[in-house]
A and B are shown apart, each in its own frame.
Chain A
Amino acid sequence: RVSSDGKPPKFQPPPKPVIIDRKTQKEERRFLSPEFIPPRGRTDPLKYYIERKDMIQRRKVFNIPEFYVGYVLAVTTADPYASDKSKRFVGICIQRGGKGLGATFVLRNVIEDQGVEMCYELYSPRIQAIEVLKLEKRLDENLMYLRDALPEYSTFDVNMKPVPRMDHEEIPLNKLQVRMKPKPWSKRWERPKYNIKGIKFELPEHKMKAAQKWSQPWLEFDMLREYDTSKIEAKIRKELSEELEK
């Protein structure tokens, strides 16, 4: 360094080491399945506690993998009318709904030019296996617009092999913008209430501007709609980690 007066430069103590606790950071980011978070309401929390005990019990016996909307899953269910007594369905998860034991997820696939959607219950005893074939998050939490998109975006090979994953940390985000079939669609996806980022809208400008007429910009500032789940989530995470280790 250039000294100021010819004197030796003032002693600069080295910067204090910043300790990044990787372990606590990892625990904060761990996935909590959305059906564990109780909805807002006046029900006795004892009911959710009892339901969670059953859910944890089922998870101990049967492994429900962590998955988001956009993953490609293969589900084997027991079927009394099939020849092998079991049925396998491969599809992309387009929606996860329900809370508690009745939580469901919808898988979509196009088989022989016919779009098929199967709604499965996560905790149903008929499900024998859930395998994650492709881990890929999408831009939206609800991919119902795939019904009105070109079929190539919903087709997945039924005998697809699970895609091998390198990292154990990052889940890749697919910023794919999907091309749609010509209108009419089942829902008006260009409207701001659906807040869809994963469609490449090829509509004229005036139509996109007209759709913004239905925007409700005051909704995000509405305090009565706020539902802060951070404390509830922390409690449930602790409960889950304790129970699953037993």
Chain B
Amino acid sequence: MMPIWTKSGEKRPVTLLKVQDCHVLRYVSKEESGGKTAKLLVGGKNVSPFSKPESAHEIFKEAGVPRKQKVTTFNVTDDAIIKPGTPLYAAHFRPGQFVDVTAKTIGKGFQGVMKRWGFKGQPASHGQTKTHRRPGAISTNKAAKVYRGKKMPGKMGNIYRTSFGLKVWRINTKHDIIYVNGSVPGHTNCLVKVRDSKLPTYKDCNKNPPFPTFFADGDEELPEDLFDAEMFQFTDPSVTFA
């Protein structure tokens, strides 16, 4: 994470996400998957093929791509289908877009109720006998049972969570890096899924994105860095207020 400044001099924290060897692996049609839209399987980050059996390599061999560490599905409309085997780059996104980022949160292990659910616990003194971080009462008398889903101690973290509506401030096409506003779930160097935002406020925010994706061997020559209009670029002189 690093700071970024707007043209008016305000500081924003920004997370850097690197697009590392992403390829489209397979196209699954609407009828095959049984969902509402067609799906595209996408894999990221190359990994050694020797730690998994040959049966697991089928998808990668069909696409002609080395084995990937993570395979995710994206729901796509029929006009956005891409041929399996095409590489995906950071230039697929443009500055000013809004994205949702999904990742597995940092695992905290078995945690008590105060850390996991934010319970207040009990006072430290004034007669409390061996009860400082316990949940206290877990149900009422009339219920005569404990409801399903009662917040209790257990394994915390290491589950998929999404941050919605994060603005893309900058794209580095040379190193394939996306600068995304705010923080993102997961530890440093963890694998992350970046998707166009599905929030209703940002439905019409994408003005002319590269559709279906950015093809590196196409005619378009992009500069090394793409900046958002509001972002302060370090080539400009210092900010002054007129």
Which A residues are closer than 8 A to B by beta carbons? Answer: 41-44, 46-47, 50-51, 54, 57-58, 61-62, 78-80, 85-86, 100-102, 121, 123-128
Of the residues A46, A62, A86, A100, contact of B237 by C-beta under 8 Å: A62
- By the criterion CB–CB under 8 Å, are A61 and B234 in contact? yes
* Residue B155 is within 8 A (CB to CB) of chain A in the complex: no
CB-CB under 8 A from A121, the residues of chain B are 3, 11
Closest 8 CB pairs of A and B: A57-B234, A126-B9, A80-B241, A58-B234, A125-B239, A85-B241, A125-B232, A128-B238
Q: How many A-B residue pairs have CB under 8 A?
A: 64
In the bound complex, what is the Cα–Cα distance between A46 and B9 (angstroms)? 26
Name the residue of chain A whose CB is nearest to the CB of B9: A126
Interface residues as binary, B96-120 with A (CB distance below 8 Å gives 1, 0 otherwise): 0000000000000000000000000
Expressed in whole angstroms, the minimum distance between the Cβ of B233 and any Cβ of chain A is 8
Chain B interface bracket (under 10, 10 to 19, 20 to 34, 35 or more): 20 to 34
Expressed in whole angstroms, the minimum distance between the Cβ of B234 and any Cβ of chain A is 4
Expressed in whole angstroms, the minimum distance between the Cβ of B33 and any Cβ of chain A is 35
Of the residues A44, A50, A54, A62, contact of B189 by C-beta under 8 Å: A44
Residue of B172, B235, B241 with most partner-chain A CB within 10 A = B241
Expressed in whole angstroms, the minimum distance between the Cβ of B231 and any Cβ of chain A is 10
Name the residue of chain B whose CB is nearest to the CB of A41: B188
A61-B238, A125-B232, A126-B5 known, 4 other contacts, Cβ within 8 Å: A78-B9, A78-B241, A123-B3, A127-B238
Of the residues A54, A85, A125, contact of B242 by C-beta under 8 Å: A85
* Residue B41 is within 8 A (CB to CB) of chain A in the complex: no
B interface, by DSSP: helix, strand, loop or mixed?
Answer: loop
Could you tell me which residues of chain B, from 214 to 238, have a CB within 8 Å of some CB in chain A?
232, 234-238
Name the residue of chain B whose CB is nearest to the CB of A85: B241
- By the criterion CB–CB under 8 Å, are B241 and A47 in contact? no
Of the residues B2, B188, B237, B239, contact of A102 by C-beta under 8 Å: B2
Name the residue of chain B whose CB is nearest to the CB of A55: B234
- By the criterion CB–CB under 8 Å, are A57 and B188 in contact? no
In the bound complex, what is the Cα–Cα distance between A161 and B64 (angstroms)? 70
Residue of B2, B16, B177, B232 with most partner-chain A CB within 10 A = B2
In the bound complex, what is the Cα–Cα distance between A102 and B242 (angstroms)? 26
Please judge, given known A-B contacts A57-B234, A61-B234, A125-B239, whether A50 and B175 are in contact too, CB under 8 Å.
yes
- By the criterion CB–CB under 8 Å, are A101 and B2 in contact? yes
CB-CB under 8 A from B3, the residues of chain A are 101-102, 121, 123
* Residue B240 is within 8 A (CB to CB) of chain A in the complex: yes
Please judge, given known A-B contacts A43-B188, A50-B177, whether A61 and B2 are in contact too, CB under 8 Å.
no
CB-CB under 8 A from B232, the residues of chain A are 125
Residue of A46, A51, A61, A125 with most partner-chain B CB within 10 A = A125
In the bound complex, what is the Cα–Cα distance between A123 and B234 (angstroms)? 9
Expressed in whole angstroms, the minimum distance between the Cβ of A47 and any Cβ of chain B is 6
- By the criterion CB–CB under 8 Å, are A78 and B234 in contact? no
In the bound complex, what is the Cα–Cα distance between A78 and B177 (angstroms)? 31
Please judge, given known A-B contacts A61-B234, A62-B237, A80-B241, whether A124 and B5 are in contact too, CB under 8 Å.
yes
